[in-house]
Chains A and B, each alone.
Chain A
Amino acid sequence: MKKTILILALVTATGSLFAQKKTTTSATVAFDASTAIDNLPKAENKTVIGVIDTKTGAVQFEANVKNFAFSNPTIQEHFNGERWFNSNTFPTFTFKGAIANPSAVNFAKDGSYTANVEGTLTIKGKDQPVKTPATFVVKGGNVTASANFTINLADYGISGAPIDGGKVAKEPKITVNAEFK
């Protein structure tokens, strides 16, 4: 009986260690549209949902737009407003993609790997392709991923005087960090 329980426990532990799909609900995404004349338009969302399929290399993220925390209340209001990201009508940013060269990452072996991630970023209901190098650190069955890229606000129908006047970057920097378990 004791042997059976031990085997079952081992199988469960091994199963979770090598589970094909690993998730997180605490990925962080930083949005930085600051410029030389205004350092306010930047924020971080620390409750982004993500999943990675270590067998196929598929990667997906969902962010609650309203959970981007700015230091300045007026900038946060503008960010969520109709002319910017319109979070009342479009409450999530989503990314659906995959590792373009999955053989570059060995999820079964601890180590640090660099690979290209390609997919579709949906903001304000508009889909745009995104291609970025990403770093994957595999340690004890967990995967930590990080990536940096820029988006073009005009591609998502976002424009206006603050952007034209150089107070908000036309191409904000996006930084993603996720620890999948």
Chain B
Amino acid sequence: MFKPPYMAETTKKKRPCWLKRLLIGILVVVLVLAGVYWYVSSEKFSDTKERKAAYTVSAIDFIREFQQSHAAANQKYTDKIITVNGTVSEVEAADTTVNLKFIDTTTGSYAIFAFQQQHLAEAKAIKPGDSVSVKGSCSGGIYSEILGVESISFKRCTLNK
């Protein structure tokens, strides 16, 4: 049976324009949130070797800076990438890996360096007495009640070649 075009149009249900826009808006928001979540959850700390140090210091001067003014030194260095140059005092076992230590022998205060996963082998090759340049993320200093000295910790470290 023949239907004139104007009749066909009247039988077709049309979705309102505002509903279409709302659905598109919701879809865009969901996609943006999923993108942000994916970005944040897949983000990783970059290789410290590729990062630029905010400060380059000598180990003993650095430790003494914390002893002289704990608060000021923490303010200056904490959460920054620092290169520390010095003679290794100790190589200490830390579970399956090792940490490097510079010790100020006059006070016993020290700076200690835990290495980044991909640079663990570098630390294992170091011996006490070696002159090294180590770069890492400074976690600041705490006064150790156990040892009675200043302890300055680093994480995600690597050796400068």
Residues of A within 8 A of B (CB): 23-28, 38, 40, 45-47, 49-51, 60, 62, 64, 66-74, 91-92, 94, 177, 179
How many chain B residues touch A (CB < 8 A): the figure is: 30
B146 at the interface (CB under 8 A from A): yes
Q: B142: which A residues are within 8 A, CB to CB? A: 62, 64, 91-92
Cβ < 8 Å to A, chain B residues 125-145: 139-140, 142, 144-145
Q: Are B94 and A47 in contact (CB under 8 A)?
A: yes
Q: A51: which B residues are within 8 A, CB to CB? A: 146-147
Complex: how many Å from CA A27 to CA B92?
10
16 other contacts beyond A26-B93, A47-B94, with CB at 8 A cut-off?
A: A23-B147, A25-B101, A25-B112, A25-B151, A38-B41, A46-B95, A47-B114, A47-B153, A51-B147, A64-B153, A67-B114, A69-B114, A72-B40, A72-B44, A73-B44, A73-B45
Q: How many A-B residue pairs have CB under 8 A?
A: 87
CB of A118, distance to nearest CB on chain B (Å): 18
Please list 16 pairs of residues, one from A and one from B, whose beta carbons are closer than 8 Å in the complex, sorted by A's number.
Answer: A23-B147, A24-B92, A25-B112, A47-B112, A47-B154, A60-B146, A64-B139, A64-B142, A66-B153, A67-B155, A69-B114, A71-B45, A72-B44, A72-B45, A91-B142, A92-B142
Q: B56: which A residues are within 8 A, CB to CB? A: none
Q: B93: which A residues are within 8 A, CB to CB? A: 26, 179
Given that A69-B155, A177-B95 are contacting pairs, would A46 and B140 also be in contact in the complex, using a CB cutoff of 8 Å?
no
B122 at the interface (CB under 8 A from A): no
Interface secondary structure of B, over-half rule:
strand
B9 at the interface (CB under 8 A from A): no
Complex partner residue of A23 from B44, B79, B146, CB under 8 angstroms:
B146
CB of A178, distance to nearest CB on chain B (Å): 9
Q: A62: which B residues are within 8 A, CB to CB? A: 142, 144-146
Q: B44: which A residues are within 8 A, CB to CB? A: 71-73
CB of B123, distance to nearest CB on chain A (Å): 11
Given that A28-B95, A46-B95 are contacting pairs, would A74 and B43 also be in contact in the complex, using a CB cutoff of 8 Å?
yes
Complex: how many Å from CA A49 to CA B149?
11
